[in-house]
C-alpha cells in the first residue's frame, strides 16, 4: 500500500509479536498519544500489559488477522520470522511497515546475502550448502574453514556450527539438521559493531552512532557507545546502514550487524546480518538520545518525521539474562544506571529479562 | 502501615486518579517491570490505556476500594484531592504513599500554611477569612492588598481573587462562593520557581534542579531549567523542599512552588504551595535526567532506592493546552523537541493535552 498513509494522534498501530520489543514499542507509542494493538499467540506476552488492546491468536488465523487489520492504521512487527502468508494477507488490507520485502530478505540468509551484495555493501564470502558434497566444495573454496548457518530461523547462535578443521566439518551438516544452509568464510574479525538506522516514508534516513557489541554464549551481553573505531569507520558504517535501508525502500528502524577487523586506518567492515526491526543493540538509545529507537520506529511507521537521534551521553547497555534480573537492587543502587525490566514472570536460562543502561557525560 | 514494605518486580502499584500523571506513572512503572492498577471514576481515563488493569468506580465505593487494595502492594495517587475517607480506608488495608498526612496538609491552604510555618520555611504572611468582616480585618493587617484563595479545591487560578484596591475587595468573598478562605499578602514577586523533590522510605531526599515557571491564564505554560537564579538561591530552594518532605515523613515525589523576589544577593524565596504528587513543572525531568520524576515516584512508593536526578541537558518544557496539541507536526519537525501526548480524545479549552521538552547541551 501507499507510503502516503500517515496516522494522527489517537490512531492505532498494530504490532505482530508481544515480546519485550513489542512492549517497548507500545510504551513509545503511548508517549506520542498513539494506541497499539498487539497480536501474539502467546497469552502471557509482556507487551499485552501496556498495549491499548491485544489479540491472542495464531499467526495463521485469517479471521483474527482481518479483525486486527481493521482496527489498525498501520501494522508493524517486532520479529523477522513473521510467516510470509501472514504478512502478505495483512499487506492486502493495511500498510505493513517496514514492509514485506524486508521480511523476505531477512528470513533467508541466502536472500539476505544476495541482497546485500546487490546493494553494494561488503560481506564475507560465502557459499550455499544443501548437502555434504556442497559443504566439502564450499570448504575447499573458502580455505577449509567457515561458519555453517541454516538459511532460516537461526538466532542467538542457534543453527550454527563453526568449522575450523576437517574434524569439525564431519557431521556439521547433520548438526544443523541437514537444513538448507550457507557457509560463511571464517574471517579474523576482532569485534562486532552495529548500526541502528531509521528511514521514514519520505526516504529520509537517520543512523544512530555505531555501537560495539560483546556477546556471551552467543547472546548479546553489552553494547558500548561510542565504539572505539576511527571516525572514518564510524562514518562508513552509518553510510552502509543507510544504503541498505534505502535499497529496501525501508520504513522504520533496522539493526545492521557488522564485523570489524584490523585497526586504525586498516579497519575493515563486513555486514553480517540485518534485522528488520528495533534491535537489542539499540536499547542504549533510550537513555542516551532524545529520540529512542522505539520512538523512532513508531514515528517512521506512523508516517511521521524522524526525531533527532543525536546522543547526549556515553552509555554501556548490559542485558540481564536469566536470573541476572535478580540483580535489580544493585542496579537501582548505581547512580549511573537506569533499569529496564520486561515484566516476564519466569527467568529461564538464556531468556532476556531486562537490560541496564549506564550513562556518563559525553566524551566524543 | 509500615515503611518496611518493599515491592518486587512484577508487583502491582495502585494509582488513584487516571489522568495524564497517572498515565505517565504507569509508563514509568512498566519500564521497571512493575504493574499498575488505576482507580478512577471516569471511564475515559487516559491512564487506563497503559495500565495493567483498572477500576471504574466512585472514590466512595468501599467494596471497589477493598478489591483494589487487595490487588496492590502499595497505593499512591496522582492528585491531592483524594477524599479523606477514601485515603483513610485504603490506608487501613495497604500502605498509602506519600501518605495520608501529606493529603490532609495539602488539601487545605490553612493547614498547609500552618504546616509550612512549623517546618521552618518562609511563606507569605496570611490571614484566615471566613466572612466579609474577616476580609476587611485581614486587608487592614496585610497592607490593603492580597490574594484571596479558597482553602480547598483551588487549582489553575480557580477559587482565587486578586485584591489590589478597595474596589477589588468589594464582593471578593462572594466571588469565591463565601467559602472558607485565606488572604495571602500580595508580594512583589518577580518569578515563580519550583523544586521537585523525592524522598524514599529510608528518608533519603533528592531534589531536582530548580525550574523557572511561566504561566498563561493561570495555567503553567513553560518550565525552564536551569532557572536564572544565584547558586545560593538554587541551593536554598532545594534545601527548603527537602525540609518540607522530611517534616511530612513523605515517601514519593512532591512539587514545591515558590515565589522569587529580588535579584542577585537580594533574592528571596517564599514557599507558595506544595503538591503531594508528581508535578507539571517536573515534566522536564523526563528528557533531561536519567531518572524522571515519574520513575523516581514509582521507585519511592515501591520502597526502592531513588535514582540519580542529575541533569544531562538544558531544557524548556512547554505545555500543549487545548487545541495547541494540533501543533504536533511542528513539534515533530523540531530536532530539539520531544513530543508527549496524553491520548485524550477531546481538546477542550484549558485542558492539558500534552507537553514538549526542548533540550540542548547542558550549560551549567
CATH number reported for the structural domain that contains residue A211 in this entry: 3.30.470.20
Cβ contacts (< 8 Å) between B20 and chain A: which residues? Answer: none
Residue A156: predicted pLDDT:
66
User: What is d(CA A248, CA A271) in angstroms, rounded to the nearest whole number?
Assistant: 15
**B180 and B237 housed in the same domain:** no
Nearest CA of chain B to the CA of A342: how many Å? 5
Task: Check CB contact under 8 Å for B312 and A359.
Answer: yes
Q: Identify the CATH number of the domain in which residue A20 sits.
A: 3.40.50.20
Best of B335, B346, B357, B359 to substitute, by most chain A Cβ atoms within 10 angstroms, is: B335
Same domain (yes/no): B140, B196? no
CA distance B195 to B238: 6
- Considering chain B, what percentage of its residues have pLDDT values greater than 70? 98
Check residue A34 and give its pLDDT: 98
Asked if residue B272 belongs to a domain, the reply is yes
Last residue of a domain, one of A96, A117, A146: A96
Instruction: Return binding residues of B for ATP.
Output: 109, 149, 154-160, 184-187, 192, 215, 272-273
The grid cell for B358 is: 526542548
Per-residue pLDDT in tens (0 to 9) along chain A, 364 residues? 456 889 999 999 999 999 999 999 999 999 999 999 999 999 999 999 999 999 999 999 999 999 999 999 999 999 999 999 999 999 999 999 998 889 999 999 999 999 999 999 999 999 999 999 999 999 999 999 999 999 987 766 678 999 999 999 999 999 999 999 999 998 877 899 999 999 999 999 999 999 999 999 889 999 999 999 999 999 999 999 999 999 999 999 999 999 998 877 788 999 999 999 999 999 999 999 999 999 999 999 999 999 999 999 999 999 999 999 999 999 999 999 999 999 999 999 999 999 999 999 998 8
Q: Which residues contact A297 (CB under 8 A, 6 or more apart)?
A: A25, A28, A76, A198, A252, A253, A277, A278
Over residues B38-57, the mean pLDDT reads: 97
Integer Cα distance of A122 and A258 in angstroms: 10
Q: How far is A236 from chain B (nearest CA, A)?
A: 24
Q: Helices A109-118 and A231-247: crossing angle, nearest 10°?
A: 110
Judge if B151 and B238 occupy the same domain: no
Neighbours of B53 (CB within 10 A): 16
Query: Which chain A residues contact residue B49 at CB under 8 A?
Result: 30, 35, 52
Contact predicate B27/A27, CB 8 Å: yes
Task: Please say if the pLDDT value at position B2 is more than 60.
Answer: no
Q: Are residues A172 and A208 in the same domain?
A: no
The answer to whether B30 contacts A343, with C-beta atoms less than 8 Å apart, is yes
CB contact under 8 A, A361 and B312: yes
- A276 in Cβ contact with A102 (< 8 Å): yes
Do residue B272 and residue B339 come from a single domain?
A: yes
pLDDT band at residue B218 using 50, 70 and 90 as cut-offs: confident
Q: Which residues of A carry a binding-site annotation for ATP?
A: 109, 149, 154-160, 184-187, 192, 215, 272-273
Q: Mark residue B14 as left, alpha or beta (left: phi above 0; alpha: psi -120 to 50; beta: remaining).
A: beta
The count of structural domains within chain B is 3
| pLDDT value for A155 | 67
Q: Is residue B85 part of a domain?
A: yes
Q: Is B9 in contact with A313 (Cβ distance < 8 A)?
A: no
Closest CA of chain B from A224, distance in Å: 17
Give A50's contacts in chain B (Cβ within 8 Å): 26-27, 30, 50, 52
If you count residue pairs, one on A and one on B, with CB atoms under 8 Å apart, how many are there? 104
Cβ pair A32:B339 closer than 8 A: yes
Residue in chain B closest to A11 (alpha carbons) equals: B343
Of the given ranges (B9-23, B123-137, B152-166, B184-198), which has the lowest mean pLDDT? B152-166
Cα(A274)–Cα(A235) distance, integer angstroms: 18
Q: What pLDDT is attached to residue B360? A: 94
Best CA proximity match to B299, nearest among A287, A358, A45, A331: A331
pLDDT(B278) > 50: yes
Q: What single string gives the DSSP state of each residue in A18-37?
A: -SHHHHHHHHHHHHBT-EEE
B213 shares its domain with B343:
yes
| Length of chain A counted residue by residue | 364
**Residue-wise pLDDT tens digits, B60-89:** 999 999 999 999 999 999 999 999 999 999
Q: Are residue B160 and residue B240 in the same domain, yes or no?
A: no
d(CA B176, CA A89): 62
Q: Cα(B180)–Cα(A112) distance, rounded to whole angstroms?
A: 74
Residue A351 lies in a domain: yes
Which residue of chain A is at minimal alpha-carbon distance from B21? A31
**Among A262, A172, A229, A164, which Cα is nearest to A364's?**
A229
What is the DSSP-derived secondary structure letter of residue B124? Answer: -
| CA pair distance A1, A19, nearest whole angstrom | 27
CA B50 to chain A, closest CA, distance in angstroms equals 5
Name the residue among A23, A329, A338 with its Cβ closest to that of B290.
A338
Q: Which of A23, A25, A290 to mutate to test the interface with B (most CBs of B within 10 A)?
A: A290
CA atoms of A257 and A199, how far apart (whole Å): 17
Same domain assignment for residues B148 and B21: no
- Residue B6: list chain A partners with CB under 8 A: none
User: Is residue B339 in a domain?
Assistant: yes
Cβ-defined contact of B304 to A340 (cutoff 8 Å): no
Q: Which of A24, A33, A206, A291 to mutate to test binding with chain B, by most B CBs within 10 Å of its CB?
A: A33
Q: With beta carbons less than 8 A apart as the criterion, state whether A362 and A313 touch.
A: yes
Chain A residues within 8 Å of chain B (Cβ atoms): 9-10, 23, 26-27, 30-33, 35, 49-50, 52, 287, 290-291, 295, 299, 304-305, 307-308, 310, 312-313, 325, 328-329, 332-333, 335-343, 345, 354, 359, 361
Helices H / strands E in chain B, number of each: 12, 17
* Cβ-based neighbours of A104, under 8 Å, separated by 6 or more: A84, A111
Of A49, A290, A335, nearest to B287 by CB-CB distance is: A290
Element (H, E) at B269: strand B268-275
Question: Do the domain assignments include residue A116?
Answer: no
Query: Which among A145, A167, A185 is the end of a domain?
Result: A185
The band of B187, judged by pLDDT with boundaries at 50, 70 and 90, is confident
Residues B131, B89 within the same domain: no
User: Cell digits for B234?
Assistant: 538554587
Q: Contact A290/B336, CB-based, under 8 Å?
A: yes
Secondary structure, 3-state, B20-56: HHHHHHHHHHHHECCEEEEECCCCCCHHHHHCCEEEC
* B33, B328, B361 ranked by CB distance to A341: nearest: B33
Q: What confidence tens digit (pLDDT) does each residue in B97-108 have?
A: 998 899 999 999
Last residue of a domain, one of A185, A206, A229: A185
End-to-end CA distance of chain B: 42
Q: What is the residue range of A286's domain?
A: 191-361
Chain B residues near any Cβ of chain A (below 8 Å): 9-10, 23, 26-27, 30-33, 35, 49-50, 52, 287, 290-291, 299, 304-305, 307-308, 310, 312-313, 325, 328-329, 332-333, 335-343, 345, 354, 359, 361
Query: How many CB atoms within 10 Å of residue A96?
Result: 28
Contact across the interface for A33 and B336, Cβ inside 8 Å: no
User: Smallest CA–CA separation between A53 and chain B, in Å?
Assistant: 8
Contact list, B52 vs chain A (CB under 8 Å): 49-50
For every residue of B309-363, DSSP letters joined together read --BSEEEEEEEEEGGGGGGHHHHHH-TTEEEEE---S---TT-EEEEEEEEEE--
The verdict on a CB contact (< 8 Å) between B27 and A31 is yes
Asked whether residue B138 falls in the same domain as residue B206, the answer is no
- pLDDT for A1 equals 44
**CATH code of the domain in which A157 resides:** 3.30.1490.20
State the pLDDT confidence band at B156, using cuts at 50, 70 and 90: low
In a domain, B134, yes or no: yes
Q: Which of A22, A50, A287, A325 to mutate to test the interface with B (most CBs of B within 10 A)?
A: A50
Q: State the average pLDDT for chain B.
A: 94
User: Does residue B18 sit within a domain?
Assistant: yes
* Separation between Cα atoms, residue B301 and residue B5, nearest integer Å: 9
What number of other Cβ atoms are within 10 A of residue A72's Cβ?
Answer: 23
Cα-trace Rg, chain B: 20
Q: B342–A33: do the CB atoms touch at under 8 Å?
A: yes
Q: Are residues B83 and B139 in the same domain?
A: no
Q: In terms of DSSP bridges, do strands A146-150 and A160-163 run parallel, antiparallel, or are they unpaired?
A: antiparallel
Q: Which of B21, B31, B284 to mutate to test the interface with A (most CBs of A within 10 A)?
A: B31
> Are B313 and B195 within one domain?
yes
pLDDT at residue B1, rounded to an integer: 44
Q: What is the pLDDT of residue B280?
A: 98
Q: Is the pLDDT of residue B174 over 50?
A: yes
Classify residue A104: in a domain, yes or no: no
Amino acid at each position: 500500500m501507499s507510503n502516503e498513509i500517515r496516522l494522527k494522534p489517537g490512531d492505532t498501530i498494530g504490532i505482530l509479536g508481544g515480546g519485550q520489543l513489542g512492549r517497548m514499542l507500545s510504551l513509545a507509542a503511548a508517549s506520542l498519544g498513539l494506541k497499539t494493538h498487539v497480536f501474539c499467540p502467546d497469552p502471557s506476552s509482556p507487551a499485552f500489559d501496556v498495549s491499548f488492546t491485544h489479540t491472542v491468536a495464531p499467526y495463521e488465523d485469517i479471521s483474527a488477522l482481518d479483525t486486527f487489520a481493521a482496527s489498525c492504521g498501520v501494522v508493524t512487527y517486532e520479529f523477522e520470522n513473521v510467516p510470509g502468508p501472514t504478512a502478505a494477507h495483512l499487506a492486502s488490507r493495511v500498510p505493513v511497515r517496514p514492509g514485506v520485502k524486508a521480511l523476505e530478505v531477512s528470513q533467508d540468509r541466502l536472500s539476505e546475502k544476495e541482497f546485500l551484495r546487490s546493494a553494494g555493501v561488503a560481506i564475507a564470502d560465502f557459499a550455499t550448502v544443501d548437502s555434504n558434497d556442497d559443504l566439502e566444495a564450499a570448504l575447499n573454496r573458502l580455505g577449509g574453514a567457515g561458519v555453517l548457518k541454516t538459511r532460516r530461523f537461526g538466532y542467538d547462535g542457534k543453527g550454527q556450527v563453526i568449522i575450523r578443521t576437517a574434524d569439525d566439518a564431519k557431521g556439521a551438516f547433520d548438526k544443523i539438521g541437514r537444513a538448507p544452509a550457507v557457509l560463511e568464510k571464517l574471517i579474523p574479525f576482532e569485534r562486532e559493531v552495529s548500526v541502528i538506522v531509521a528511514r521514514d516514508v519520505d526516504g529520509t534516513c537517520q543512523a544512530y552512532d555505531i555501537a560495539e557489541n560483546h556477546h556471551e554464549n552467543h547472546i548479546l551481553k553489552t553494547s558500548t557507545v561510542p565504539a572505539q573505531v576511527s571516525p572514518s569507520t564510524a562514518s562508513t558504517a552509518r553510510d552502509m546502514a543507510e544504503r541498505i535501508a534505502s535499497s529496501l525502500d525501508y520504513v522504520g528502524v533496522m539493526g545492521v550487524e557488522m564485523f570489524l577487523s584490523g585497526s586504525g586506518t586498516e579497519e575493515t567492515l563486513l555486514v553480517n546480518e540485518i534485522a528488520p526491526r528495533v534491535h537489542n543493540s539499540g536499547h542504549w538509545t533510550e537513555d542516551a538520545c532524545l529520540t529512542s529507537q522505539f520512538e523512532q520506529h513508531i514515528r517512521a511507521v506512523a508516517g511521521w518525521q524522524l526525531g533527532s537521534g543525536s546522543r547526549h551521553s556515553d552509555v554501556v547497555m548490559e542485558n540481564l539474562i536469566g536470573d541476572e534480573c535478580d540483580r535489580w537492587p544493585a542496579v537501582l543502587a548505581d547512580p549511573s544506571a537506569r533499569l529496564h525490566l520486561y515484566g516476564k514472570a519466569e527467568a529461564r536460562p538464556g531468556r532476556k529479562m531486562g537490560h541496564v543502561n549506564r550513562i556518563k557525560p559525553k566524551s566524543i
